[in-house]
Structure 1
Amino acid sequence: MLDNAPWAPLAASALTIVLILIIAWVLRRVAHRVITKVVNRAATGGSLTSRFRKGIAVDSIDALLNERRRQRAETMGSVLKSVASVVILGTAALTVLDRLTIPIAPLLTSVGILGVAVGFGAQELVKDFIAGMFMLLEDQYGVGDVIDAGAAVGTVEAVTLRITRLRDADGRVWYVRNGTISRVGNESQGWSRAYVDVPVPYDADLVSVRAVLEHLGEELWADTEFREAKIVETPQVFGVEQLSDSSLVFRVSVKTVPAAQAEVSRELRLRIKTALDEAGIPLVAG
């Protein structure tokens, strides 16, 4: 009989091992497919700037946010797939070893001790990875953003789970470990704001000054070069922002697309100087 054959137990064990490997492979494939579907769903979504006007500038913001959402979802998907593979294949390997009557208790004990040793030795590395994962999940910043990371201020050139690479205004490259970043100031996420302070004499006609600045803002809004690519709202005149010993300071503010505030500020200064000169209103040196 087959049950009494000397090779029957070996065949049964081999069949069991094959079934374990097949089940592990199927579970891994299913887990990866589920993660892929979740990632694809997370990578797509509606416009995040529907509260703004419709136009080329807003479309650019949407395209940037959608691309960042896609990259963030793909990165997290890759991490989840790796974790799923390690867990499933590791469990299958231990089950196979147990089926082959190889004691796994000493192995698990050794792995546990090794894990504790590595954990103590790599605390900073683990901290960096955990901080990097939360940074990606929360979309705190992305490539192209101008951020203040505490240790350095600059444009983000690369983001990994362990480090963030920045380039400052002097061209210096900074490598900042994610675990050391306790707070982040993002100057270019979603939208930015440009503002210019306009100091005028105390004896200036404030109504006329405000009218000139408001008219200038309307002209800038009507300029298609800026309206379609640089600014997302009509410039606003906040009125008298502060009083100094020699001047009254008006503030002009405009909401811009990310990282365009410097260019818009320069254009505002140029137009303000020209408009005030034409109206015969002098500026006071700061």
Structure 2
Amino acid sequence: MLVLATPTPTPSPTPTGGLVDPDKVVNEMTVACTGDPICSAFTDLLPRAGWAPLVATTITIAVIVIIALLIRNVVHRLINRVITRAAASPLTGRWRKTAAVTDGIDALMHERRKQRAETIGSVLRHVGTIVIFGTAVLTVLEKLTIPIAPLLTSVGIVGVALGFGAQELVKDFIAGMFMLLEDQYGVGDVVDVGAAIGTVEAVTLRVTRLRDADGRVWYVRNGTITRVGNESQGWSRAYLDVPVAYDTDLAAVRTLLARVADELWDDGDYREKVIVDKPDVFGVEQMSDSSLVFRISVKTLPAQQAAVARELRLRVKSALDEAGIALAA
């Protein structure tokens, strides 16, 4: 006997969770708008219709974006005002011995302070923009009923992973921030950072660009700089050692060197533009088996000590020749 099998019904496909249900999203936005006082206020201004909550949510998002832009502009204006005031603050002059302040040192210090203030202001403006717009984006996502808790968790995990992978980069940025805040060096300074010695051409939060005496350009990461020797900060000092024989009249030599130092100080081309304080003529600085060494010290503008030392050598040599005093070997 032949038995026919009854066909079994084919199961209908069930909806997968990967697709977004538009009706569900609209309902969630409507419920969220009802619980939001701002969105509800916009809903009350619109006609009683099903699309009113959606339009009110859109208006609320637009208001959030506009408020974020306004706050960003206000923060940038405040930062610019503070930076401008910091760049224009008067000098204290505490590092100078004399009360007189030369125009050259004032202009140099003002330019240096201005560069540092502008760099710090740029960093603050970028940080403010990221914080304000980041908060606005999270608020907009919440208005769109997109859960931000998983997003924040994912961002935190990614941030930790990037932190482990970019430790050197983070170290460079932190070191660059402290370097700028502490004003360790700036563009135009002659510095020794261990890895290289040269003139600073550019300073960023990540690297410092130097050019050495041979013209070679060095890129030094800020995180690798453990010590800085700055030859151009505040002021420099020029030294000149004058060796004379033991049988020379020491009082005459000291009087002659003092006269040369006074003439250099009275020279308007140097006193107003290069030299900061009156030169000092010390006594016998060193003694050897063949000579006594006198020393002249001159405080100059940053990085001008070499030019002053060259001029001082010429004047001392001419004065010694006129007085018939020979230099010791």
In 2, the alpha carbon distance for the partners of 1:178 and 1:256 equals: 29
The equivalent residue for 1:190 is 234
SS class of match (1:239): strand
Residue of structure 2 in register with 1:199 after alignment: 243
State the 1:4 CA deviation. Answer: 5.2
Whole-angstrom distance in 2 between the partners of 1:182 and 1:35: 30
1:171 matched residue in structure 2: 215
* 1:244 to 2:278 alignment: no
Q: CA RMSD in A?
A: 1.7
Question: Partner of 2:200 in structure 1?
Answer: 156
Q: Distance in 2 between matches of 1:20 and 1:222?
A: 67
How many Å separate the matches in 1 of 2:187 and 2:72?
32
What is the match of residue 150 of structure 2? 106
Q: Distance in 1 between matches of 2:47 and 2:216?
A: 75
State the alpha-carbon separation in 1 of the partners of residues 306 and 268 from structure 2: 18
Task: Give SS of 2:163's match.
Answer: helix
Q: Distance in 2 between matches of 1:128 and 1:263?
A: 36
Q: Which runs of 5+ in 2 are unaligned?
A: 1-43
Equivalence for 2:273 = 229
The alignment covers a number of residue pairs equal to 283
Aligned partner of 1:93 in structure 2 is: 137
Shift of 1:53: 5.2
Indicate if the aligned counterparts of 2:210 and 2:219 stay in contact, CA closer than 8 A. Answer: yes
Counterpart of 1:45 in 2: which secondary structure? coil
How far the C-alpha of 1:263 sits from its partner, in A, is 0.9
CA distance in 1, matches of 2:293, 2:74: 64
Residues 1-286 of structure 1: pairs in structure 2 closer than 5 A: 5-49=49-93, 51=96, 52=98, 54=100, 58-285=102-329
State the 1:193 CA deviation.
0.5
- CA deviation profile, 1:186-212 (whole Å, cap 9, x unmatched): 111121110111111112111111111
Q: Is the 8 A contact 2:104 2:272 kept in 1?
A: no
Q: Secondary structure at the match of 2:226?
A: coil
Aligned-residue offset at 1:3: 7.5
Amino acid at match of 1:240: V
CA contact (8 A) 1:49 1:62 kept: no
Partner of 2:208, secondary structure, is strand
- Native 8 Å contact 2:103 2:272 kept in 1: no
User: In the aligned structure 2, how far is the partner of 1:128 from the partner of 1:20?
Assistant: 35
TM-score, structure 2 as length reference: 0.82
State the SS of the aligned residue for 1:219.
helix
- The structure, 1 or 2, with the larger RCO (C-alpha pairs under 8 Å, 6+ apart) is 1
C-alpha distance in structure 2 between counterparts of 1:234 and 1:61, whole Å: 15
Q: Secondary structure at the match of 1:194?
A: strand
For the 8 Å contact 1:53–1:232, the answer to whether it is kept is no
Q: CA 1:48–1:174 in 2, change beyond 3 Å: closer, same or farther?
A: farther
Identity %: 70
